[in-house]
Structure 1
Amino acid sequence: MPKSAPPTPPPTDHLIVEQDLPTEMRTSFLEYAYSVIYARALPDARDGLKPVQRRILFQMDRMGLRPDRPHVKSSRVVGDVMGRLHPHGDVAIYEALVRLAQPFTMRLPLVDGHGNFGSLDDGPAAPRYTEARLAAPALSLTADIDEDTVDFAPNYDYTLTEPEVLPAAFPNLLVNGASGIAVGMATNMPPHNLTEVVAAARHLLAHPDATLEELMAFVPGPDLPAGGMIVGLDGIREAYRTGRGKFSTRATARIENITARKKGIVITELPYLVGPEKVIARIKETVSSKKLQGITDVADLTDRKHGTRLVIGVKNGYNPEAVLAQLYRHTPLEDSFGINNVCLVDGQPRTLGLRELLDVFVRHRLTVVERRTRFRLGKRRERQHLVEGLLIAIVDIDEVIQVIRSSEDAATARRRLMQVFDLSEPQANYILELQLRRLTKFSVIELEKERDELAAEIAELEAILNDESLLRDTVSRELAAVAEEFGTPRRTVLLEAAGTGAGALNGGVGAPGGAGAGASQAMRQAAAVSLMAGTGEVPLTVPDDPCRVLLSATGLVARVGGAEPVPRSGGRQRHDALVSQVATTARGHVGAITDTGRLVRMEVLSTPEVPRLEGAPSLAGGQPARLLADVEPDERIVGLVPIGSPGDTSGTPIVLATAGGVVKRVKPGSEPKHGDAWEVIALADGDRVVFAGAAADSDMLVLVTSDARLLRFEAAKVRPQGRGAGGMAGVALHEGARVVAGASVPVDLLAEAVVVTVADGAGALPGTGSGSVKVTPLDRYPAKGRATGGVRAQRFLRGEDQLVLAWVGVGPARAVGSGGQPVDLPDPDERRDASGTPLSAPIAGIG
């Protein structure tokens, strides 16, 4: 038999390579960790997006899924993103798409979802059942992406390109927050209010050396999509300083009569990412284990029309405030949020504070606008070059036609045109492609007009590139436009926990998150104090002692013991600018006048009590007025007034002033016998109440208008009327003007009263601190007759055209910022029509 051939060696691609196991594990794990950190879990600090989110928005933009186009199946979006840009599982892509569309997760949703995109207690429907398109704010993230504003990189298979970052016209990372778990690190960032963040970014643009304290005057804290309250601001300040911190979120509740003889606790806003079913399950569990007592039942009445509404029945004989304190302690009605601002900066994971986050975005936006400006400048120079060549050709059009007709081919014609008319090759090509209809006289005029417009645009673009201040102004204007278009009022109330357990509202801001939310009849402060103190005990009775109810310029309400008036002097405390004080008793009632002309009864007992300090008490332990009075979401409380008994005509009339220049005094004793709210003035369409107080016949009434006019006259000239009357003319308004402030000043204190006016431009973003302020004694303004135009109160500086804020009252005047922090006012100016002094800081209220 023939000798067998030697075995064939295996191919080289099947060779077994021996590798040390620890080395292989180390290498593989590092590659995996790198992939998770940089390509999955952490957002970029510039546009605030993870790679999958960025790819979703970019691909939807390329698909033309804009807000004015119909929705398409989510499966189609997921398929295109997975096939073109993101070679990972479709489940992960769909989950990212769903999060971008959830209004309870995102403060400013970027995807407009149609269908079941889930809730806090349940997941979304399958992608084949839902539809999606871009939401309007998402267009601000992808705007100008085709104008060389950002760098592009190849996709996973090198067949397409994708942006490394989006242009991002607003600070998306701060506005919408982020969460993600990487390898060895994680990120957890809360959402913020767009208007506040943009104001801080604009301030940083104008003042690159701004401190963290200055920026926190614009961004006092997170603004959660569901509203609610944040308790304890020390953790927020620490997070804004170091990038790490912790705060507690608390549900918004009010105590109501759910039946004629039974009280209940109504939850209208829940902590961030806490669902009703989770709360109900925990309540049932703690009731079964005897940790909670006094609860009869829990009903979830949440719907799309009225928003969140959990009704918790309280047994007769139990104090609802004590039950609420226990609910906060034992259920998710109070939850914690740990801030960990980890994000990618220049490809490296870093932990950033508020100033660093804003600085990264501002630098990114400056780069985007600069690159866009260079791109547009190049395009306009190219067009200008072509227009100039076309104008040369039209002037000698006959010779141009002769040259073209005598040429053998296009290349020859191009060469001869360049030689004869001294044209460039692009100009010659453009002339060869010229349509005959462009040879009319009208077209020449159009070309000359276009040439002039191009020259002006080129000069403007060159000026932006050559002047950094113009570049910063351009970025600032664009940020202001985005905030004006998409900005919404703050939803979350900020409470600062004091050492004794008292709560303090940061700035008095906080609008309801949903319909019917925000109003509260409960004695919330007592429950909050008991919760923080850890006792859970609330006294069942309170002595009916004399007290005074105070309203601050930032919207806080509190009471102080004693019948004596609150002194007008005192230390510089937070929230110490008072606009109203009413003498009453602890078990009495006061009236809260809203800008819609309603008087809402408010229980004095439900207002938190603050101690009398040397001088004026600080309202740092107060509660927002809208949480203590049953007001609608779009109503604003403008003042507190005493409530008399029906038929008792011995009291002082209530005085009201409206933005339309109407003034009214309400007859004492005209209160209805029943009801907790009633109208006190019949307002004209579009009119709103701007001032409410009490005015005797001997008092002086003062009205200040937006065009800087001041009128004062005797209150006796306004006869008291019934509740249904519409008042009478108070001041004659010029076209476009409105009343911005009113006051009632006792005649014996006229010499101590002052007028504070704040002027600014009509297009200024609120809270930016621009404009000027002036303080003038009231007696420098002469008295005039009712229904006249008054006298000028302030001379406008350049860029100012209206008064945005004013206050009249017995001095000294105090101004506060949005966080309740004191703001310095200038010394009084004896000249009534002088110009103001530039603001040192944004002013939110004066008192």
Structure 2
Amino acid sequence: MQTSFLEYSMSVIVSRALPDVRDGLKPVHRRILYAMNESGYTPNKPHMKSARTVGDVIGKYHPHGDSAVYDTMVRLAQPFSLRLPLIDGHGNFGSIDGDSAAAMRYTEARLDKAAMELLRDLDKETVDFQPNYDESLQEPKVLPARFPNLLVNGSNGIAVGMATNIPPHNLGETVEATCLMLDNPDITTEELMEALPGPDFPTGGIIMGKKGIIDAYETGHGNITVRAKCEIEEKKNGRASIVVKEIPYQVNRKRLLEKLGELVRDKKLPEISNIHDAADRHGIDIIIDLKQNAIPQVVLNKLFKHTQLQVGFGINLLALVDNSPRVLSLKEILFYYIEHQKDVIIRRTRYELARAEEKAHILEGYIIALDNIDEVISIIRSSQTDKEAAKRLSERFGLSKKQTDAILEMRLRRLTGLERTKIEEELAELREKIAYYKRVLSDDSLVREIIKEELRDVKKRFGNVRRTRITGEAKDIEVEDLIADENMVVTMTKAGYIKRLPVTTYRQQKRGGKGMQGVNLKDSDFVEHLFVASTHSYMLFFSTAGKVYRLKVYDIPEASRHARGTAIVNLLPLDKGETISAVIATKEFPKDEFLMFATAQGMVKKTSMDLYDRTRRDGLIAINLKDDDELIAVRRVAKDERVIMVSSAGKAIMWAEDEVRAMGRDTMGVRGMNVPADAHVLGMEIARPGTDLFVITEKGFGKRTPIAEYPEHHRGGQGVYTITMTQKKGLLSVMKIVGPDDEIMIISEEGVVVRTPVKGISELGRSTQGVMVMRVADKDRVTAVAISSTGKKRKAKPGVEVDEDQMALLEAESETGVLGEDDLDDLDE
């Protein structure tokens, strides 16, 4: 079994699947070309039935199936399969759509002119011959191949345990590279690539990047990416179309169209409105019409990703060298080709020298005979037989057998004076040729010059322009590169609905305007986070489970003014019961800026923003939490700022941000506030000078106290009372930092909303009881407070959260969903 399999393997490798490095042909190709040449199906003769050629090949040289031979022959005639077709087909020889050729009884073929260059000088003993399968005929072991066919037409084949995949190249470029190698055998791959930059596929297309080409040319292995050539056409109605002009090599166009249709049907490419086949005798165009707002470049990216408009081509330069398979570099392929050409030229020269010497020898005999013509005639006339005449002539004039035979066969017309002159001229010419042939055989540089000259002649007759473009490395065009950098208003409600819309949606109004309808919300829902951020900014979503998720602003679906938006669970992979507790908008992640975290049990942590400049589909750990703890607030904190925390037990603690040292992402933090077992931290804010701390209890009693009244402590204490607690008032429910010109909206569990200006709430000392801010039913309780900024404010900076901390953007939606447009007049940035 082992022996048999090894024998079979070697047979497949050597005499079936792999091309010879010298002529770039597998045995079946070589036999087809040789059989057609022997039968005279050449370019100067009429086309001949393909079945006749197939019969010749099978009967004389290749005892295999007729379909195998015909399929090979068909491929040799296809201009989309070979860069330089070797067979001139007449009839249906298949198409780039994958249509098969007509049966061989219908089609006709003859050798193409280029194939004659592979066979040229075959009759001049330039290559070795071997017996055919039944030893009744001789066939060439290799063809003279007067151009580097292995590179020009490429090859692909699967042997046993190995495979070859050589891409086609441009004839002119390959010839120039060979000439460079002839001039300088020590040339580098880099220098060769100036003449031969890379493969040139018959179907055109674009090769993305040079790395794969360099790898292949230097090591024999390399991967290249080939893309279709697509043009984007803008139409008058504002829509665009993608026109596919050229497709990658060996891609079946019909299957490509089917795949495109499938993707559109399955709604994987919703931006496409229509696909139609615009192929005609001028081109193979596929026209892809896009919908109104589709970005052509983004659609193209998706097409490259999901279809064969972009394919990988694995180059494997494997060929037979002295009947052994070898992986070769570009230099080695050219070296072996040049060695073969040297051998061909030397053998051809020897053959021509022998012929020339033979002819000159006979002409020298003629000259001797003409000089002594009377005596020669006399000897011939007086001889009884031609043998006797030959012997006497040979003895008299010292002629060889060949010369005497030629003299005896000479016609009388050659005895004229004009004929004598011709003979002398011909002899002189032959002597010149003989001298030249001898010079060629003794001078290697002359052999190289002949190879160059003959190659350039082939290039001149058959060369054409490059079809495949080589461009820079394939980079997935980021959607971001195609989206305008503009400011967006991003809103997120307490119930988790998020949307974005351009700042320009809100018309400017004079101060005191009544605003416009902003968003229709469900009862008891309200806008909790509101930003002005660039489309290219990041949104960091911190969840109660201590995780952080990241989205680009452009990833948030755009919605109209009246729409509620998209549920955040559709954008982020939140676990059951996990909600968003804080949102930060930022464009950059500087090392020297920090985020301060606070949990319900009073833990705090400060971490550099640059640790959050990464992303994972299922979120990153932002802070480590104890089992029964949750993240309640995240704020950006600057150097020397004060942090204030308030507990449900009615206490507040303020401390400097440098009380907490910066630590890593995956940490628990340190104690920020000590809270009793039955209480929890309500919130954490940055306490800026000139602001007030507003607190409200579950039963609607609230007050505001200037920040200046709170003493600064070290972190970790219980804090000082911010309101005198009584059973009647209930536990503290919400804390906010407010400005004197703010308006607040208080929302209860049952959806009751009260809107009131901050100025209307008494400014009281720390340990006072507070006043009734909202009347709450017995079974109801206050759950949230939202802030609207209605007074003088600072301009919003793109990428910075504009919420109650900055008191700078916009009126939050009221119970009717009115968005205070009068406060968007400053959103110029």
Equivalent pair of 1:322/1:537 in contact (CA under 8 Å):
no
- Structure 2 counterpart of 1:409: 385
Equivalent pair of 2:233/2:241 in contact (CA under 8 Å):
yes
- Structure 2 counterpart of 1:135: 112
**Unaligned stretches of 5+ in structure 2?**
487-829
What's the RMSD between the two structures over aligned residues?
1.3
CA distance in 2, matches of 1:209, 1:300: 50
- Structure 2 counterpart of 1:357: 333
CA distance in 2, matches of 1:353, 1:134: 31
Equivalent pair of 2:297/2:482 in contact (CA under 8 Å):
no
> Percent same amino acid among aligned pairs?
50
Deviation for aligned residue 1:156: 0.4
Question: Of residues 102, 121, 125 in structure 2, which corresponds to 1:148?
Answer: 125
- Structure 1 counterpart of 2:482: 539
Question: Of residues 497, 505, 522 in structure 1, which corresponds to 2:473?
Answer: 497
Code of the aligned partner of 2:181: L
Is residue 2:254 matched to residue 1:277?
yes
Question: Of residues 154, 177, 190 in structure 2, which corresponds to 1:200?
Answer: 177
Aligned residues: 485
Classify 1:393/1:542 alpha carbon distance in 2 versus 1 (closer, same or farther; 3 Å).
Answer: farther
Code of the aligned partner of 1:170: F
Equivalent pair of 2:239/2:293 in contact (CA under 8 Å):
no
Is residue 2:139 matched to residue 1:162?
yes
Residue 415 of structure 1: SS of its match in structure 2?
A: helix
Deviation for aligned residue 1:261: 4.6
Equivalent pair of 2:171/2:459 in contact (CA under 8 Å):
yes
- Structure 1 counterpart of 2:411: 435
After TM superposition, the structure 1 = structure 2 runs for residues 58-457 of structure 1, keeping only pairs within 5 Å, are 58-120=34-96, 121-257=98-234, 260-304=237-281, 306-457=282-433
CA distance in 1, matches of 2:92, 2:271: 37
Is residue 2:437 matched to residue 1:461?
yes
Code of the aligned partner of 1:52: V
CA distance in 2, matches of 1:76, 1:184: 35
After TM superposition, the structure 1 = structure 2 runs for residues 466-615 of structure 1, keeping only pairs within 5 Å, are 466-497=442-473, 501=475, 529-530=476-477, 535-536=478-479, 538-541=481-484
CA distance in 1, matches of 2:49, 2:443: 47
Q: Which structure's CA Rg is the greater one?
A: 2
Residue 231 of structure 2: SS of its match in structure 1?
A: strand
Code of the aligned partner of 2:122: I
CA distance in 2, matches of 1:292, 1:261: 19
CA distance in 2, matches of 1:445, 1:329: 77
Deviation for aligned residue 1:108: 0.4
Code of the aligned partner of 2:57: V
Deviation for aligned residue 1:274: 1.1
Deviation for aligned residue 1:275: 2.6
CA distance in 2, matches of 1:393, 1:313: 87
Question: Of residues 33, 55, 61 in structure 1, which corresponds to 2:31?
Answer: 55
Classify 1:454/1:542 alpha carbon distance in 2 versus 1 (closer, same or farther; 3 Å).
Answer: farther
- Structure 2 counterpart of 1:606: none
Equivalent pair of 1:322/1:538 in contact (CA under 8 Å):
no
Provide Cα deviations, 1:19-49, integer angstroms capped at 9, x if missing partner.
Answer: xxxxxx1122122111111111000000000
CA distance in 2, matches of 1:445, 1:491: 55
Equivalent pair of 2:177/2:196 in contact (CA under 8 Å):
yes
CA distance in 1, matches of 2:147, 2:328: 18
TM-score (structure 2 length as normaliser): 0.58
Deviation for aligned residue 1:538: 4.8
Code of the aligned partner of 1:456: E
Residue 274 of structure 2: SS of its match in structure 1?
A: strand
Code of the aligned partner of 1:221: G
CA distance in 2, matches of 1:176, 1:237: 19
Deviation for aligned residue 1:263: 1.9
Residue 128 of structure 1: SS of its match in structure 2?
A: coil
Provide Cα deviations, 1:294-341, integer angstroms capped at 9, x if missing partner.
Answer: 10111111122x211100010111111211111111111001100111
Classify 1:72/1:285 alpha carbon distance in 2 versus 1 (closer, same or farther; 3 Å).
Answer: same
Provide Cα deviations, 1:630-689, integer angstroms capped at 9, x if missing partner.
Answer: xxxxxxxxxxxxxxxxxxxxxxxxxxxxxxxxxxxxxxxxxxxxxxxxxxxxxxxxxxxx
CA distance in 1, matches of 2:158, 2:185: 33
Deviation for aligned residue 1:375: 0.5
CA distance in 2, matches of 1:297, 1:537: 26
Deviation for aligned residue 1:421: 1.0
CA distance in 2, matches of 1:259, 1:57: 54
Residue 146 of structure 1: SS of its match in structure 2?
A: helix
CA distance in 2, matches of 1:473, 1:280: 50
Code of the aligned partner of 1:395: D
Deviation for aligned residue 1:104: 0.5
Residue 74 of structure 2: SS of its match in structure 1?
A: helix
Equivalent pair of 2:367/2:420 in contact (CA under 8 Å):
yes
Is residue 2:7 matched to residue 1:28?
no
Provide Cα deviations, 1:681-712, integer angstroms capped at 9, x if missing partner.
Answer: xxxxxxxxxxxxxxxxxxxxxxxxxxxxxxxx
Code of the aligned partner of 2:221: R
CA distance in 1, matches of 2:20, 2:129: 15
CA distance in 1, matches of 2:479, 2:346: 58
